[in-house]
Amino acid sequence: MFVIGAVIGFASAPQQGKYGQIISGNPTLIDIGSTSCVPCQQLQPVLVSLGSEYDGVINIEFYDCWNTTEGAEMATRYNAETIPTLIFLDGNGNVVARMTGYNEQSVIEAKFRSLGWIE
């Protein structure tokens, strides 16, 4: 009997932090996930791309709920039971939408459009 396995590496692990300039009063997308979670890792390039595309228009932040106290506090604050969880906040900090699991950039941008954040 043979056992064949594969190890998949990632060029860079997601880092807790912000993607682009954070501007008070702008809408915010919060990703509550973990650097130890594969779907969360897959979402990171999407967040980086969104952060670049909408820098100064939409704040985009990542919190690692498994490996940091701040991330765990955010998960509790926003009742994130599944990761990744995306929390959409209006410019006043009110939750206006949420999504769970990996989502492609086009799906997240469609949500931005439906919320009136982009055209």
pTM: 0.85
Is the per-residue pLDDT at 54 higher than 70?
A: yes
Has residue 5 been placed in a domain? no
3-state SS of 10-40?
A: CCCCCCCEECCCCCCCCCEEEEEECCCCHHH
Range with lowest mean pLDDT among 3-12, 16-25, 81-90 = 3-12
CA distance 43 to 16: 13
- Look at residue 86 and tell me if it is in a domain: yes
Q: Band of the pLDDT at 21, cuts 50, 70, 90?
A: confident
Q: What's the pLDDT band for 77 if we cut at 50, 70, 90? A: very high
Is residue 10, in this structure, part of any structural domain at all?
no
Distances (CA, A) of 23 to 2, 20, 56: 55, 9, 6
Indicate whether 104 belongs to any domain: yes
- The tally of domains found in the chain comes to 1
| Residue 92 in domain | yes
Q: What is the CATH number of the domain that holds 37?
A: 3.40.30.10
Q: Range of 31's domain?
A: 17-114
Q: How far apart are CA 1 and CA 103, in angstroms?
A: 38
Q: What is the per-residue pLDDT across 96-118, written as a single tens digit (0 to 9) for each?
A: 999 999 999 999 999 999 999 99
pLDDT value at residue 6: 30
